Chain A
Amino acid sequence: MIATDTERELEFQAKIDRGEVIEPKDWMPERYRKQLIRMMSQHAHSEVVGMLPEGNWITRAPSLARKAILLAKVQDEGGHGLYIYSAAETLGIDRGEMIDQLHTGKAKYSSIFNYPTLNWADIGAIGWLVDGAAIVNQTALAKCSYGPYSRAMIRICKEENFHHKQGYQMLAYMMRGTKEQQEMAQDAMNRFWWPALMMFGPSDTDSPNSAELMRWKVKLYSNDELRQRFIDRTVPQAEAIGLKIPDPKLKYNETTRHYEHGEIDWQEFKNVVNGNGPCNRERLRARVKADADGKWVRDAAEAYAKKHMN
């Protein structure tokens, strides 16, 4: 007897409720597949676009040791991109199509990479805050219902932890340095703190996809829960090295044992998501240009492979 879609969907939901993992060959609702493609390609694009603001400082790293650390980090991020693209391909879309969606603006990437890296301390702030926020998100995603995504997250999180630690150490060292170095570090903190909080997405009251994604265990925690987790673990780290959080309303609530924070500027968030952040145009143009400039190289590789097939 052939099961109807409704029956299949009930079975699918039951499977998820039992905590089973969905694998590429398993039946899944079309909408589940679409949502995962959206999330995974967005994640892969973020890893790749993220190479731009960090790559911006490799040639200016102030010591050879730091230059090597930054090169290794950026190389890791490219590897994450590659790995997540492959995981997304298990859903029946190829990398070229996902990249086209990025270039035409149909697919998004993390809004954080639309902020410029203006001083060297920004590299520390990205490692500590941006990779730090990514870890909170990705640790949750490591328990998500789609097998290939969850496994990718487990593997990637190990490297993100390393990046997080190195970024923090860099800022800690600068905070023990000259007055100018301390100012650079605080300036980076002032510019990256709020955008890092926005990485968790809109507040729960304003998060359109959340309920469905949580039912499917693609998301296991709400945006606000994850944001809170990030704040709670990051504020003491900032205080330990003498960095001030640029939020006058931030305070520890003894009863809830959580930090309370000021209102996030959701208008700014919407602007950046909709393409009007400080670097949206530059980032996208850089990716489109790299793709266009490299076309003759890809064409040549393809022509060569065809000629030498046997």
Chain B
Amino acid sequence: MNTTTENNSALFEYLLRLGDTSLILGHRLAEWCGHAPILEEDIALTNISLDHIGQARLLLDYAGKIEGKGRSEDALAYHRDARQFRNLLMAEQPNGDFGNTMVRQFLISVYNFHLYSALSKSADAELAAIAAKSVKEVAYHVRHSSDWLIRLGDGTAESHERVQQSINDLWIYVDDFFNGDEVDAMLVSQNIAPELNAIRPLWNETVQLTMVKAGLQIPQVNSAMRTGSRKGNHTEYLGYILAEMQFLPRAYPDAEWL
């Protein structure tokens, strides 16, 4: 195998990881539509979902071009099975209550923020451009979700207890963010992707800052940490998401939808 092919397949994998995380998280947020605690949040959640779908489109479109087999954003979104998806495990976790959705959003958005900030200086110009565009949207996602974490953490006894429980529940998917493999290593060596070891302290610091303001505790690290997204080892939830998301293109393979 020559180096260009190897580079391209590493970049393809990497783009799927970013694109799939946006796609699946965008899907989860869309499930809220019309059911949020207040109208302003119906609008905000739809807006954030739309940002994620927009990012997913750019990333998957570019992934298809890098792969060079003529697969479009839709071919990648609608015609892969769960084992081929590379989204973070956290992204596919169910919405739970509004606080749980905000915790999930916060933990991923802080990760995306530091990752995309670094990627906006990527040696790959196209990825750098996508990251630079996305990071502005992500900054708003961080702001919106951390504002809610603070309100809920420092709101009523009930809200404090609920949101702390969500943090405890979701924390086992945090290591998955930083569990890099040979794909990361290869792209790091070419200055296309940042070192995950450098992202982790930044993530810790931002998360810590909000947690303190919210009066919430970071859970003790335990042995239950779940990883595997980079190899397509998902939780059981992803299959159901795909069954719903992919239904029409799968049921009518000859149809085009515009």
Contact = CB atoms under 8 A, between A and B. Distances in A.
Interface residues of A, number: 50
A264 to B, nearest CB: 29
A300 B155 contact: yes
A55 B35 CA distance: 10
A298 B38 contact: yes
B49 interface: yes
A202 to B, nearest CB: 28
A177 B257 CA distance: 8
A16 interface: no
A178 to B, nearest CB: 5
Interface string B22-42: 010001001101111111111
B158 A300 contact: yes
B226 to A, nearest CB: 24
B162 interface: yes
Interface size grouping (class) on chain B: 35 or more
B126 to A, nearest CB: 18
| Best-surrounded residue of B46, B50, B151 (most CB of chain A within 10 A) | B46
B151 A301 contact: yes
| Best-surrounded residue of B40, B53, B56, B155 (most CB of chain A within 10 A) | B155
A299 B242 CA distance: 35
A301 to B, nearest CB: 5
Given A64-B74, A181-B255, A297 B152 contact: yes
Contact of B47 (A75, A295, A300, A304): A75
B232 interface: no
Interface string A233-272: 0000000000000000000000000000000000000000
Contact of B50 (A60, A68, A169): A68
A234 B4 CA distance: 55
A78 interface: yes
A78 B43 contact: yes
B213 to A, nearest CB: 11
Nearest to A299: B156
A208 interface: no
B37 A297 contact: yes
A290 B255 contact: no
Nearest to B152: A300
A180 interface: yes
B46 to A, nearest CB: 4
Interface in A132-180: 169-170, 173-174, 177-178, 180
Contacts of A293: 35, 37, 97-98
B94 interface: no
Contacts of A205: none
Nearest to B99: A297
Contacts of A93: none
A75 B151 contact: no
A82 B155 CA distance: 25
Interface of B: 23, 27, 30-31, 33-43, 46-47, 49-50, 53-54, 56-57, 60, 73-74, 77-78, 97-99, 150-152, 154-156, 158-159, 162, 244-245, 247-249, 252, 254-258
